[in-house]
């Protein structure tokens, strides 16, 4: 004997399609997705970037360590290059040449030292003229 059938609590999912047989399911939600899917196979994307294949990853521990060291060295070199400001030798020479009472040898030493020490060169540029000679002689005499 079957239990009494209550129409309000029973839903027939097997036989009820509610007219949904002709609906096409599209994964893309954009409004032109139907047109895009049809034409996408006919044309190539215009903004495609060709990325070259990367090297095969190292498989042995020695290869992985060597690869890591190479990456670290490269990264460190890039940091040093980015951090080191290259001074214009002409600018350094003009600044040193403007200092009164420096011998030619002192000028050459000062130029060589200041090109390698950009922060001291910036400081030299801000000093009054009468103090520049003392600064240059102080730093070049002690080989700093």
36 or 104, greater pLDDT: 104
Average the pLDDT over 91-115 and give the result: 92
How high is the pLDDT of residue 125? Answer: 92
Indicate if the alpha-carbon torsion angle 83, 86, 91, 97 is positive or negative.
positive
pLDDT band at 127 (very low <50, low <70, confident <90, very high): very high
The whole-angstrom separation of Cα 144 and Cα 138 is 9
Q: What is the pLDDT of residues 36-86, one digit of tens each?
A: 455 444 555 555 555 565 666 657 888 889 888 999 988 888 877 766 667
113's enclosing H/E stretch is: helix 104-116
pLDDT band at 97 (very low <50, low <70, confident <90, very high): very high
Average per-residue pLDDT in the chain?
Answer: 74
Residue 110: its pLDDT value, please?
Answer: 92
Q: DSSP labels for 30-79?
A: STTHHHHHHHHTTS--TT---PPPPPPPP-SHHHHHHHHHHHHHHHHHHH
Q: Note the pLDDT of residue 96.
A: 94
- Going by C-alpha positions, the residue among 118, 87, 116, 114 that lies closest to residue 99 is 114
**For the whole model, what pTM was predicted?**
0.41
User: How many angstroms separate the CA atoms of 131 and 84, rounded?
Assistant: 27
């Amino acid at each position: 004997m079957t239990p009494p059938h209550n129409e309000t609590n029973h839903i027939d999912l097997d036989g009820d399609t509610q007219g949904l047989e002709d609906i096409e399911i599209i994964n893309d939600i954009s409004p032109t997705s139907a047109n895009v899917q049809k034409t996408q196979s006919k044309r190539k994307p215009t903004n495609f970037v060709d990325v070259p294949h990367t090297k095969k990853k190292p498989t042995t521990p020695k290869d992985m360590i060597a690869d890591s060291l190479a990456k670290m060295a490269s990264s460190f070199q890039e940091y040093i290059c980015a951090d080191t400001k290259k001074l214009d030798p002409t600018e350094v020479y003009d600044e040193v040449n403007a200092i009164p009472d420096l011998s030619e040898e002192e000028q050459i030493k000062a130029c060589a030292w200041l090109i390698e020490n950009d922060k001291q060169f910036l400081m030299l540029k801000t000093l009054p003229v009468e103090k520049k000679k003392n600064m240059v002689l102080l730093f070049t005499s002690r080989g700093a």
